[in-house]
């Protein structure tokens, strides 16, 4: 029998109590390095509610010239 291992589900860091704003340096964790795109939920491990929040904060940071727009 072929056994497979289920990957451990990632815990949403924002649900765990960590806060993030567009001013934080940690917002780069949610953006790809090469093209500057917002990373999907399955990679970052955030819940749907906080993924929408993060996308808004990334867009604010781009507008304030803290992050580059998509290349």
What confidence tens digit (pLDDT) does each residue in 6-63 have?
Answer: 777 788 999 999 999 999 999 999 999 899 999 999 999 999 999 999 999 999 999 9
Instruction: Please check the confidence at residue 2 and state whether its pLDDT lies above 70.
Output: no
Contact criterion met (CB below 8 Å) for 58 and 52? no
Domains contained in the chain, CATH given: 8-71 (4.10.640.10)
Q: Is 6 helix (H, G, I), strand (E, B) or coil?
A: coil
Of 14, 33, 19, 24, the residue nearest 61 (C-alpha): 24
């Amino acid at each position: 029998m072929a056994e497979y291992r289920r990957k451990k589900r990632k815990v949403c860091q924002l649900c765990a109590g960590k806060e993030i704003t567009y001013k934080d340096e940690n917002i780069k964790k949610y953006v790809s390095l090469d093209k500057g795109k917002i990373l999907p939920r399955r990679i970052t491990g955030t819940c749907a509610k906080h993924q929408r929040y993060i996308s808004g904060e990334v867009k604010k940071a781009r507008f304030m010239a803290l992050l580059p727009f998509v290349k």
